[in-house]
Structure 1
Amino acid sequence: MKIALVQMEIKEKQHAENTAHGLEMLEEAAGHCDLAILPEIWTTGYSLGHLQEQAETPGDELIRRLQDMAARHHCALVPGSFPMRWEDGRIYNTALAINAEGKVLSRYGKAHLFGMFHEEDFFASGDRFEVYGLNGVQCASTLCYDMRFPELYRYLALRNAQLILVPAQWPDRRGYAWDVLCRARAIENHLFLAAVNAVGTFKQDVFYGHSRLVDPNGCIIAEAGHGEEIVYADMDPARSEEVRKILNSLADVRLRISVPPFADEDK
């Protein structure tokens, strides 16, 4: 499967411009790959003062355009994430997965909300974790800060995910963590990880870029730089199974461990 990592610049308080530019880059990528991925919160960025008006709803024009694009190019899309009001009336930081026929297969609401950006003041926390098939590959979606919570990735791996997608807005000053976590989540779960970061700025932060596709051994197959670009990379899902046959730590995992109380001398 050929994957396009669409690393775009996201501008503060430029909802219309971001949306148009993201669609333009995605359109370019979709004609040359089997799966195209955008960064997190690419329509609004983290300038969320007008969230109530800018949140999408199921069936809105943006979602229809994304579905049409997928069907026209016969290309699956995980178009990053954007604010979306769900049927319960709450707004979630939402990642959709759209197959090559234009059907929405999965809707993921970010589970771990980033306290430093006060996401909890704007978004509800999601609790639906799905594995879905795109072009014969078992995929799952997570978002940015989720990478710091390995339990989620282990859960998805045990549900037979072969590729985990991570749209993100990750800052340059924590680039070392991006480098380590992308590879760690892939290695410990014997799967591919496609992490698509933004570039640009938000307040004092500069986004790190360095979108990458990582293989089940933690090797970087392809990686973007620090600017706006589209990176194409091929993955063979059979590689995940090959690695698991050689060293299958998932078969040895202990899911239920009782932790004894600390002894006084260990406190």
Structure 2
Amino acid sequence: MTPFAIAGVQMYVHATHSNVETMIHHLDVVMARFPWTQMVMFSELAAFGPLDRFAVPTENETIEKFCVAARRHRVWLIPGTMFLRGDDGLIRNTAVVINPDGHIVARYAKMFPFRPYEAGITAGTEFCVFDVPNVGRFGLSICYDLWFPETTRQLTSMGAEIILNPVLTGTTDRDAELAIARATAAQFQCYVFAVNGLGAGGVGKSIVVDPSSMVLHQSAGQEDMFPIEVDLDVVRRQREAGMKGLGQVLKSFRDRSNDFPVYDRASGTDAYLYTLGPLEMPQQGNRAGLHVDVPLAGDDLINRPLGNQPVLGKTSSG
């Protein structure tokens, strides 16, 4: 058994002022209540909230405070994410990984900003895995990244056994994300820790899933601290022998007999995607995807035979 204790912190996030001191307080409480915890993770944009006008420089005193806190508690720390403004002037949604010595060992910029809603945020281009000595390999993705299986495919192909996914979802699609978290764990034979916030930081419902898609913990809609001890030998056994002795999906992908032309942007096999219109915010009365003939002014729909009524999803000609 290779046990490792990870605590998620689901906390209330304010949008218009710093949450940093509250985060450090929550870290102190976690370590006082659960001193066996070895890693603590917060939600996406927990430090300063979801407004990019509060972006901070890549090197800043807040990260230094988190480094000091990690060193004080001798714990691995992922303090959610922050909007960081680089030397190029561009803003990226970035997570840092701090080790128990208080040193930053990895940085990751979100590859899939939630466009069109996160307009103005530059996408990252580098995948992020890091090793915890004598434990295993971890991979970072941020919120919407998990909707794209290619991201987890890359991380697990690089050896990641646990996917850490800080989340900021305050919308009605959180239940879909819970399904995606379970499917991701089963597809890629890994643990998934997806930690959401509250208030301006989300609707909660953080989730921890094991490699067989079993939910180990799911928060509700209140503040929560949930230390979960994982066993990475379970990952290794399942990847070698299959889930319940059945699907060996990573090895099956490795030994595949074909590649996928859709990833060759010059192949033309993704032509359908270009019929879907621009990536933009829906507006009132938006009828995208509804191919409906709108009757001319004065059309007498009341007296029109039923067989000639326009039908959603079809033109009047069928």
- TM-score normalised by L of structure 1: 0.87
Q: 1:69 offset after TM fit, Å?
A: 1.2
Distance in 2, matches of 1:261 and 1:155, equals 23
Matching of residue 223 in structure 1 with residue 232 in structure 2: no
The answer to whether residue 173 in structure 2 is matched with residue 169 in structure 1 is no
Whether the 8 Å contact between 2:47 and 2:79 is mirrored in structure 1 is: no
- AA aligned to 1:256 is D
Q: Which has a greater percent of helix?
A: 1
> 2:287 maps to what in 1?
none
1:141-183 CA distance string (max 9 Å, x none): 1111111100010110111101110001113511221210111
- Aligned match of 1:127: 125
How many angstroms apart in 1 are the aligned matches of 2:225 and 2:46?
15
Q: Does the 8 Å contact 1:26/1:38 carry over to 2?
A: no
The equivalent of 1:245 in structure 2 is 240
Match of 1:265 in 2: none
Does structure 2 retain, via aligned residues, the 8 Å contact 1:85–1:91? yes
**Mind listing any 5+ residue stretches in structure 1 that lack a counterpart?**
263-267
Please name the residue that 1:82 is paired with.
82
2:24 is equivalent to residue 23 of structure 1:
yes
Q: How many residues align?
A: 251
Which letter does structure 1 place at the counterpart of 2:130? Y
- Could you tell me how far 1:100 is from its partner in structure 2? 1.3
Whether the aligned pair in 2 keeps the contact of 1:5 and 1:196 (CA below 8 Å) is: yes
The alignment status of 1:3 with 2:1, answered yes or no, reads no
Bigger radius of gyration:
2
1:116 shift after superposition: 4.2
Aligned to 1:111: 111
Query: How high is the sequence identity, in percent, across the aligned residues?
Result: 27
Within the candidate set 36, 41, 50, 1:37 is matched to 41
Q: Which structure carries more relative contact order (alpha carbon 8 Å, separation 6+)?
A: 1
Provide structure 2 residue ranges, at least 5 long, that are not aligned to the other structure. Answer: 243-247, 270-318
Aligned match of 2:197: 198
How far, CA to CA, are the matches of 2:204 and 2:50 in structure 1?
A: 16
Helix, strand or coil at the partner of 1:173: coil
Match of 2:50 in 1: 46
CA contact 2:47–2:80 (8 Å) conserved in 1? no
Look up the SS of the partner of 2:197 in the other structure: coil
Partner of 2:16: 13
> What value does the CA root-mean-square deviation take over the aligned residues?
2.1
**How far did residue 125 of structure 1 move?**
0.9
CA distance in 1, matches of 2:165, 2:217: 15
Matching residue of 2:147: 148
Higher deviation after alignment, 158-167 or 5-14: 5-14
Q: Which amino acid aligns with 1:2?
A: A
Deviation at 1:221, TM superposition (A): 1.2
Please report how far the alpha carbon of residue 87 of structure 1 lies from its aligned counterpart in structure 2 after TM superposition: 4.0
- Cα deviations by residue, 1:21-69 (Å, 9 ceiling, x for unpaired): 1221123224531000000011222233x33xx41422x2111111111
Shift of 1:99: 1.1
